[in-house]
Structure 1
Amino acid sequence: MDEPAEIGRRVQRLRGERGLTQRQLAQPDYTPAYVSTLEAGKVRPSETALRFLAGRLGISFEELATGRPAGLATALRLDLTDAQNTLATGTAREAARHFGRLLAEAERLDLTDERAEALLGLGECALESGALTEAAGHFGAAELLLSGEPLPRRARAVRGRAVVHLLAGELRYACYLLESAIDALNAGGLGDPEALVLLYTAVIGPYLDMGARTRAAQAAELALALAPQVGDPALVAGMHRQVARTFLAEGRTADADAALAKAQAVYGQLRLRKDLALCHWMRGYVRAQHGELDAAERELRCAREMLAARRAALYTAQVEVELADVLRRLGRHDEAVELVSGLLEPDAADGGVDAGAVHAGGAHRLLGLIAQERGEPEAAEEHYVRAMSLLERSGADGDLADVCRLLGDLLRRAGRTEAAMDAYRTGLGHRAAAPGTTTLGPAPASPHPAAVRAGGPETRPLPAPR
């Protein structure tokens, strides 16, 4: 509802256009003095009064209260749904054009909620295209627009900002954003189940990349406990896809495959092409862990083709690292090298964001392994050192420790014992603490027990720092 002065001017203008006196407009429920006071902007009219006056003036309550014709907001929300469908089934570029038009319309009509939805959609489009600076701007603008709203309403914007930092290799800050929001949701007692599942699901990836397996497993457990209260099937499917990663970290490959099958079925029904591609990627990883390399190659190639068709640059690059490793294990070294040759430096073209440090580090690690298998220890050492530099600045402690071990083993076999010891010490420095403790801040609080329905899995608090 507009401010009283604006509403008063609108009532006065409409009354004049219809040739009504203040008495004629006021009768039979109100007095001419009330209409005079209202038109002067000296009183904030109640909804009941505005509905009465709107009826007398022959317009809708919405138009009198806001100056906007009835149905515009509803039509815009329907168009936003169409844009979301375009993002799910078409290309990010096409969806971005759609969201951009809707953002301009929402701004013209001064519709805050619809502006925020359009900005969130533009953020998702930019994420998929790998334009991280642009994505951060859209998510930040949406969060600012919703700053006066309850935190559950802002959860998608927070999650979007965290994913931007995750893809940029800034894992610790991604965890900080998500943990802070989780704590704020749980601080007052009952948290919103959908917002909590969204945030717990989002924090699993950075936890695992940092080697914080205990925290990742408990975030997955808490998300699973809240899932029965979530009505959005795509959100639940995304949760299963991330939970599968925790199963893999625990060696429970059959459970991981079952979780991915659940997610894949939902994505197929909803025609969510990007998410379906990510499921093929994860299933390829599961097959590779089982030693089923031919099946892994098929799944990963399918994922790569689907993501490349959508111009999802960062996701495509990450799949290419996984696929190249499978090709290496199949003995097809030249194909593997060719596949990752364009990934060796992070893409800093997007406004200076150091995008892709984690998968660039993964590409150097892979080339180091190939160089070792080809009997080229000097080249292998160069790739391992470069991988360490990239992973250290990204905060991917688990991957960094693994590369330190590979480098230490290489140096030890070459008789360079002191250098090998230095590499091992560096790796131990990123593994010395129990997973998920001192590399992060205090663990986020668990939901209030009443937030989990009776009969759901028992929840335990996330581990506190030692």
Structure 2
Amino acid sequence: MTTSDLVGLRIKTVRRQRGLSQAQLAHPELSDSYVSLIESGKRTPTPAVLELLAQKLDCSLSYLINGVTAEQMEDIELALGYARLALENGEVQEARTRFAELLANNNLTGLTTLRQDTEFGLALATEACGDLDEAISILLGLREEDLPTERRIEVMMVLCRAHRDSERLTEAVEVGEQMLAGSARLPWSDSLVELAATLLSAYMWRGDLLRARQFAAELLNAADALGTPRSIVAANWNASLVAQVTGHHEEALSFAERAMAMQAETGQPRGLARMRLSLLRVRLRARPMESEAVRDLLRASVAEFEQTSTSMIDRARVHVELANAEYMSGDFDKAVEHATIGRSLAPEFKHVLGAEAGLLLSRVYNAVGRHEEAAEHATSVHDWLTPLPDSRRSASTWFATAETIEALGDADGAVEAYQRALACAGL
């Protein structure tokens, strides 16, 4: 039913409940034929007529327009506010429950914008809980609806990110390019730059490094032209990742520091936590001699991640990175502790982070002479990597696995891992 049909049906229902005829409702300001046309959905009443009819029917204008009373609308908006606050505060499971309960409220059915806002919030909370498949399902449903431009860009950005984080890199690229390609492409805006930055990271993870370098330069120019904090953070953050992957570590550090400085001014908790991790990750690789200082900062980041709406994958990532810093600093017990936590938070056998954690555990145990356990963890990496699609990131992890297995003396296993690395790289 159209909006006009629904408004007309509500007017008709309340009129009958009040025991009024169409002529009685119309008199003296309106004609009964006009009321009949409104009730049948053939005429859309003006705001002034709707307000008049609400007064005559002794009901709220909100009910005639939305199908809910003013009190019910207030309750819905309050519940939505609480769900958003829970998400912002890192209480992601509570947020997911609140959004889901709100969607189950029949009063939300006719409130298209509020329902879409609630579904998008549920997708974000579901993503933050680590259930990427369900988050993708919600976002795909939203994508098919008639959405305002800004909301559509946000939906596509999160959908691109969820595909990327679940290693569905081809799908991530398709989603991003769908919004950015073609002659009808929207002009650059903060949200569009953020979507493009997510697409850039998908190019990088897939191994399209030439395209990634070119696109990073385009995004940096777009962000500088806009001059807004959001666009500058997104462009520099992802340009840093590309520079790091292509071996330009000091350049990567420079981009990351600029993004971090700008992000600190915005005060957005999730972005600030993730940007700090990105900066520390780059710093650890660009300046390994500073591993102890980076380790101390990463320890603080763990608490920061737990207090914000970062996803389970984000939390897995910070623990794995801290484990790496602990390993480089020589604290092998702490390295084992955080690698184990990181692996437990990663989606089981569906994410390369689990493989990276297992690989780090293998190296730690090998370093302390516990070679049998080291070999077991190296072997377990196969279980994490085998189900994943071929990508540059998978190739890199297979190569690191091959080096570790070779150091453990398993020549045959190393050859197999090297071959898998080549296959993932398309060689």
TM-score exceeds 0.5:
yes
Q: Counterpart of 2:52 in structure 1: which amino acid? A: G
**Inter-partner Cα distance in structure 2 for 1:383 and 1:277:** 30
2:281 corresponds to: 285
Shift of 1:364: 1.9
- Within the candidate set 300, 305, 314, 1:302 is matched to 300
1:2 aligns with 2:10: no
Q: Counterpart of 1:51 in structure 2: which amino acid? A: A
Q: RCO greater where, 1 or 2, for CA within 8 Å and sep 6 or more?
A: 1
Q: Counterpart of 2:292 in structure 1: which amino acid? A: D
1:341 corresponds to: 340
Shift of 1:244: 2.3
1:51 corresponds to: 48
- 1:343-382 alignment to 2 at 5 Å? 343-344=342-343, 354=348, 357-374=351-368, 380-382=374-376
1:326 corresponds to: 325
**Inter-partner Cα distance in structure 1 for 2:410 and 2:13:** 89
SS at match of 1:394: coil
Q: Counterpart of 2:333 in structure 1: which amino acid? A: D
Q: What are structure 2's unaligned runs of at least 5 residues?
A: none
**Inter-partner Cα distance in structure 2 for 1:72 and 1:221:** 50
Structure-2 change in CA distance of 1:175 and 1:113 (3 Å)? farther
SS at match of 1:187: coil
Contact 1:119 1:141 in 2 (8 A): no
CA RMSD, 1 decimal: 4.1
Contact 1:162 1:178 in 2 (8 A): yes
SS at match of 2:387: helix
Contact 2:315 2:345 in 1 (8 A): no
2:178 corresponds to: 183
Structure-2 change in CA distance of 1:374 and 1:397 (3 Å)? farther
Structure-2 change in CA distance of 1:74 and 1:224 (3 Å)? farther
SS at match of 1:393: coil
Q: Percent identity?
A: 21
SS at match of 2:425: coil
Shift of 1:297: 0.5
**Inter-partner Cα distance in structure 2 for 1:101 and 1:151:** 27
Q: What are structure 1's unaligned runs of at least 5 residues?
A: 349-353, 434-466
Contact 1:100 1:122 in 2 (8 A): yes
Q: TM-score, normalised to structure 2's length?
A: 0.78
Shift of 1:302: 1.6
- 1:41-120 alignment to 2 at 5 Å? 41=40, 44-48=42-46, 51-52=48-49, 54-55=51-52, 58=55, 63-69=63-69, 76=76, 80=80, 83-100=83-100, 102-105=102-105, 107-108=107-108, 110-120=110-120
- 1:188-267 alignment to 2 at 5 Å? 188-191=183-186, 193-194=188-189, 195-227=191-223, 233-234=229-230, 237-265=233-261, 267=263
Structure-2 change in CA distance of 1:385 and 1:67 (3 Å)? closer
Shift of 1:293: 0.7
CA shift digits 1:434-460 (9 cap, x unpaired): xxxxxxxxxxxxxxxxxxxxxxxxxxx
SS at match of 1:179: helix
Structure-2 change in CA distance of 1:138 and 1:54 (3 Å)? same
Q: Give 1 or 2: higher helix fraction.
A: 2
Contact 1:209 1:399 in 2 (8 A): yes
**Inter-partner Cα distance in structure 2 for 1:241 and 1:68:** 44
Structure-2 change in CA distance of 1:241 and 1:10 (3 Å)? same
Contact 1:211 1:396 in 2 (8 A): no
Q: TM-score, normalised to structure 1's length?
A: 0.73
**Inter-partner Cα distance in structure 2 for 1:250 and 1:424:** 20
